[in-house]
Chain A
Amino acid sequence: MGITDHAQSELTDVVFVEFEKVGKKVAKGDVVASVESVKTVSEVYSPAAGEIAAVNSSVTEKPESINQDPYGSGWFVVIKPEGENEELLDAAGYRKIIGEE
C-alpha cells in the first residue's frame, strides 16, 4: 500500500517518512506510517487487519520518490491481510473510480 497521487500533491514535497516495524500486527485503521512534508505531518492508516510483511526502506532514503512515483517506487508497506478484503483497491482500480482512466 501507499498514498494516492492526490495525497502526495496535497502534502507537497515529502521530506521524511517513517514506518511501523515489520512483523507488527495491525487492526484496520491503525497507524502504519507517518509522512512529513514541508507543509504538514500526516499519519497513514492500514486499510485492513493483518501483519506488516515489508516496508519500503528505499523511500526513507529518498522520500522524493513518494512525490515522483506514488503508485510505483513510492510504495509504503506490504500488509499480509488476515481475511478476505474485497473492498481494497489497487492503484488502477482507484484511478478508474476517480475517472482518470
Chain B
Amino acid sequence: MKFTFASWAEPLLSEIENDELFGFDNKMPSPEGYEPKGALERSTLSIPRISERYLMKHYVNLSQMSYSVDNGPHLLGSCTMKYNPKVSEALASSDGVARMHPLQPPSTMQGTLQILHELERWLAEISGMDAITLQPAGGAQGEFTGMLITKAYFEQKGEKRTRILIPDSAHGTNPASAAMAGYEVVELKSKDGTVDVDLLEKVVDDRVAALMLTNPNTLGLFEEQVGEIARIMHSSGSLLYYDGANMNAIIGKTNPGLMGFDIVHFNLHKTFATPHGGGGPGAGPVGVRSFLEKYLPVPRIRADGGVYTLDYSMTDSIGKVHSFMGNFAVLLRAYVYILMNGRDGLTRNSERAVLNSNYLMKRLSGLYDIPYKGLKKHEFVASASTLKEKSGITAMDIAKRLMDYGIHPPTIYFPLIVGEALMIEPTENLSKQTLDRLASIFNSAAGEDPSVLHSAPHSTAINRVNEVKAAREMVFRWQDMQATADAGAAAEGKN
C-alpha cells in the first residue's frame, strides 16, 4: 500500500493577491484611515492582508502536504511521538481554562491551583521525589532549572564544583544546559552502551557537581548499575541528575527516587502525551529530594485545609524560570492523561511501549544490524552499516524511503556512538498489525534497487532535498519579503 501526499502550489501568505474581500470579511474593522502617531510610527511593514477564506485555504492545504502524529506511525526515537488524546485538547480549550487570566487573585482560581497541586503530588509519586516545580517550559529548560538548583546547593554549601559529567549516549541538550549554567562539561565514554562504572569511579572527585543520566538511555538500555553509580556520586558529595526523556519506559516498574537520583526532569509531551510544540509551548517539570526543595522556583503552591495559596517567601529559591505558573494548558493535558489512565493504565502503557519496541527490533534484526544485543526498553537503535557496506544504502536512504509509505522516519545518525543509526521508538500506540506492516516495509526497503532509495521520497509534496546546499547557501525568505516591501515603498514614493 502506497501513500501519496497532497501537492498544492501554495504560495507564501505575502504572495497571495487578495484585494477582494468575501462574505463577512468586508464588515471587519480595517486599519485604513488610521494615522499612526509618535512612537507608533513605523516604516512600511509587509504584513499580508488576506481574507479568512484564503487564510483557511492556505493552512488547510499546507497541512495536507505535511505529516502529523494523527496521520500514522511516527517513529522518531527518543522523541516519544505518542498520540495526543483529543479529550485533553477539548478540556484545555474549554471556557474555564481559555478565559482565565494569569493575574487573577488566587482566591478566584482555586480549581486551577488544585489541579496544579495534585499534578505536583502525582509527579512526585511517579518519580519518587519529594517536591515538584511545574514552571519550566520544556525538557531543556527543566534541565537548566536542575542545573541552577545544583549550583545554588553547592554555592550555599561553600563548595566550588565546576564540572558536570555526561555520558556520550546522552541527549545533546544535557551538555548545552550544563554549559549554560556555567559548568564545564566532561564527556563520559560508554562501555557496552552503558556507563563505565570503573571510569566513573576514576573521574569523580570534589570538582564534580553532578552526573546527568538518562535511564533507560538513548540506546534503549537500562543502566543496571545505577545503584552503584548513585553510591559513587554520593560518596564524593556529588548529585545525580535524572533526565526524564525516557521515563515512559519505566512508569510503575521503578522510579528515579528508588534508583538514587536527587533531581529529575519530566518531559510531559513525551511521557504524558501532551503536544510536541514546534518549539513550544511545552512543559518540563522538575522534581527534587527534600534537601533541595528550598531552591525550587517561586511561587510554591501551598494547600491548607482545602485552600490553595501562592508562597513567594522562599529566600533560597533560584527565582522564577517562567512567568506565572508555567504553561497551564499543557500541564492540564498531562493531568487529564494521568487521571484517565490511572496507576494501572500508566504501567500498562510502559509495558506496551517496551513490548512494541522489542517486537519491532526482533522483526528488523535479520536485515539490519542491532548493536548491543539483548532486550531493550521503549526504543532501540538499528544500524544500516552492513547495508551501506554491501549495497551503499544508508540510514538516510531508508528514512527517506519510509515517507513513500506514509511513515514518519525514525531519528537517524543519533546516538553518535552507533554508525548509520536508526533510532526507532514505536510507542504503545501501534497495534501488532501496524508493527508487522512497518517491519515488512523496513525489510523490503533494504532489498530495493539502491538508486530508488538514493532519490527517495518519490510520493511526497517535496522530494529529496539537497541538505548540503541548504546548509551551505542559506536563503532566508524574509529578506526577499523585506526587499519586496522596500521596492513597493520606493515605487509609491515615485508616484
Question: Pick the contact of B416 from A15, A36, A38, A40 — CB < 8 Å?
Answer: A40
B residues neighboring A (CB under 8 Å): 413, 416, 419, 467-468, 471-472
| Interface size in chain A (residues, C-beta < 8 A) | 10
List A contacts of B472 (CB < 8 A).
15, 63-64
Q: A36 contacts which chain B residues (CB < 8 A)?
A: 471
Give every chain A residue within 8 A of B467 (Cβ-Cβ). Answer: 13, 38
Cβ contacts A to B, 16 pairs, < 8 Å = A10-B419, A13-B467, A13-B468, A15-B468, A15-B471, A15-B472, A16-B471, A36-B471, A38-B467, A38-B468, A38-B471, A39-B413, A40-B413, A40-B416, A63-B472, A64-B472
| 13 further contact pairs, Cβ within 8 A, besides A13-B467, A13-B468, A15-B472 | A10-B419, A15-B468, A15-B471, A16-B471, A36-B471, A38-B467, A38-B468, A38-B471, A39-B413, A40-B413, A40-B416, A63-B472, A64-B472
Taking CB atoms, residues of chain A closer than 8 Å to B416 are 40
Nearest first, the 4 closest Cβ-Cβ pairs linking A and B are: A15-B471, A13-B468, A38-B467, A39-B413
Chain A 61-78 near chain B by CB (<8 Å), digits 1 or 0: 001100000000000000
Per-residue 0/1 for A3-24: is the Cβ within 8 Å of any B Cβ (1 yes, 0 no)? 0000000100101100000000
Residue of chain A at shortest CB distance from B467: A38
CB closest chain-B residue, reference A36: B471
What are the residues of chain B within 8 A of A13 when measuring CB–CB?
467-468
CA of A15 to CA of B470, assembled, Å = 9
Q: Which residue of B lies closest to A41 (CB)?
A: B172
A37 and B301 alpha carbons, distance in the complex (Å): 46
A46-64 residues with Cβ-Cβ distance < 8 A to B are 63-64
Least CB distance, A45 to chain B, in whole angstroms:
12
**In this complex, what residue of A is CB-closest to B395?**
A39
CA distance A63 to B416 in the complex (A): 22
A37 to chain B, nearest CB (A): 9
Min Cβ gap B414→A in Å is: 8
Nearest neighbor of A64 in chain B, beta-carbon distance: B472
Complex CA gap A89/B143 in Å reads 41
